[in-house]
């Protein structure tokens, strides 16, 4: 597990008040919504706001790729890393 993935797991737990779960219990490839971790659309909004604050990136909910980025911790970590690299390149 990368440092970015661990940070994100902690952010998910803190943001959504998931008191009964630890970062180690979240598989980086596990689906965040539906049958996976069981998050819903309200959780996605809260999480999106916190990610934007924490990492200084912009997210567009209308972007079709956003669902793929929020599929798992690993895909979210890859998205954040990519956005931060793009921002540095400007």
Domains and CATH numbers, the chain: 3-89 (1.10.1200.10)
pLDDT tens, the chain, 90 aa long: 799 999 999 999 999 999 899 999 999 999 999 888 999 989 999 999 999 999 998 887 777 788 889 999 999 999 999 988 877 776
> Widest CA span of the chain, in angstroms?
41
Measured in degrees and rounded to the nearest 5, phi and psi for residue 54 equal -70, -35
Measured in degrees and rounded to the nearest 5, phi and psi for residue 74 equal -65, -45
pLDDT tens digit sequence for 29-49: 999 998 889 999 899 999 999
Query: For residue 70, with 0-12 CB atoms within 10 Å meaning exposed, 13-18 middle and 19 or more buried, which class applies?
Result: buried
In 1-90, which ranges are continuous DSSP H helix?
A: 3-15, 41-55, 66-69, 73-89
Q: Taking the CB of residue 38, how many other CB atoms lie within 10 A of it?
A: 11
Q: What is the pLDDT of residue 67?
A: 86
Q: What is the pTM of this model?
A: 0.88
């Amino acid at each position: 597990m990368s440092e970015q993935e661990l940070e994100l797991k902690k952010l998910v737990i803190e943001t959504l008040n998931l008191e009964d779960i630890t970062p180690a219990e979240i598989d980086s490839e596990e689906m965040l919504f539906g049958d996976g971790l069981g998050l819903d659309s309200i959780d996605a909004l809260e999480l999106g706001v916190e990610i934007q604050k924490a990492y200084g990136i912009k997210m567009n909910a209308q972007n079709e790729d956003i669902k793929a980025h929020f599929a798992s911790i690993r895909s979210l970590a890859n998205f954040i890393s990519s956005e931060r690299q793009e921002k540095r390149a400007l």
